């Protein structure tokens, strides 16, 4: 039985919300009373997820978060539908290839466009709405790789370190408006993102976790739900660790 988190009458955007961690967050938000707009670039999947979870409280939006213009269009649609945006969860992300930094293909550096540009574009677009209503909660999904750096994953690690720094800067900028900006740094979860990784890299990540297992998507969603709630009223610019003991800082 999950602890009760009160998100009644809150309106949320969850990027990459059609599957994996994102879908778990959407489900937790719905159970907590929120209405949710799911941002995802997979049109068919985002519609299917919304149909599965119930269109009465879920709004599917096809959007490429690496495009500022597309994000601005999508946020405008959500604000027109909901009337306000209380919560933003920047979860959309890709893993990229596994190579030594000196062999890393230039084309694969596109990881930055989704993992770092995406959260920046979404925060940039949503923040003015939250400032106007003088309330908001932003939760960015970073990674333990952003704290420690994973070998053979320089682009992913760098992008997630950037998300952590973005969180700290924005948290200070928005603190006076009752807008909390925090991030989570999970260890790997067994989701579709594993399909982008080599087995050697997966084994490496597991070997570094003292708990001896990968994090469950529901565990990540539980921490995000708290950070997205009114109860998270003083902490901002912070990093909530979900690395199973790999990082104790």
Catalytic center residues: 156
Q: Distance (Å, rounded) from C-alpha 182 to C-alpha 35?
A: 21
Give the rounded distance of the alpha carbon of 14 from its chain centre.
7
What percent of the residues of the chain are helix, what percent strand, and what percent coil, each to the nearest 5?
A: 50, 15, 35
- DSSP assignment of 158-214, as one string? HHHHHHHHHHHHHHHHHGGGTEEEEEEEEPPBSSGGGGGS-HHHHHHHHHT-TTSSP
Q: Which two tokens stand for residue 237?
A: 């610019």
Give the three-class secondary structure for 156: helix
């Amino acid at each position: 039985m999950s602890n009760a988190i009160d998100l009644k009458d809150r309106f949320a955007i969850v990027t990459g919300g059609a599957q994996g961690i994102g879908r778990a967050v959407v489900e937790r938000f719905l159970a907590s009373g929120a209405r949710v707009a799911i941002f995802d670039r997979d049109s068919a999947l985002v519609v299917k997820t919304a149909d599965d979870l119930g269109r009465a409280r879920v709004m599917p939006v096809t959007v490429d978060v690496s495009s500022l213009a597309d994000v601005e269009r999508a946020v405008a649609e959500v604000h027109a539908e909901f009337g306000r945006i209380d919560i933003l969860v920047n979860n959309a992300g890709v893993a990229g290839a596994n190579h030594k930094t000196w062999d890393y293909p230039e084309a694969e550096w596109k990881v930055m466009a989704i993992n770092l540009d995406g959260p920046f574009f979404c925060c940039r677009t949503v923040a003015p709405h939250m400032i106007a209503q003088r309330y908001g909660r932003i939760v960015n999904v970073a990674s333990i790789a952003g704290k420690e750096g994973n070998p053979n994953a320089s682009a992913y690690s760098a992008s997630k370190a950037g998300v952590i720094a973005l969180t700290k800067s924005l948290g200070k900028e928005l603190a006076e408006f009752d807008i909390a900006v925090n991030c989570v740094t999970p260890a790997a979860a067994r989701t579709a993102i594993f399909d982008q990784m080599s087995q050697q890299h997966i084994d490496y990540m597991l070997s570094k976790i003292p708990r001896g297992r990968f994090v469950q998507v529901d565990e990540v969603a539980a921490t995000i739900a708290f950070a997205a709630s009114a109860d998270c009223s003083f902490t901002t610019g912070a990093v909530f660790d979900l690395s199973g003991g790999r990082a104790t800082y």
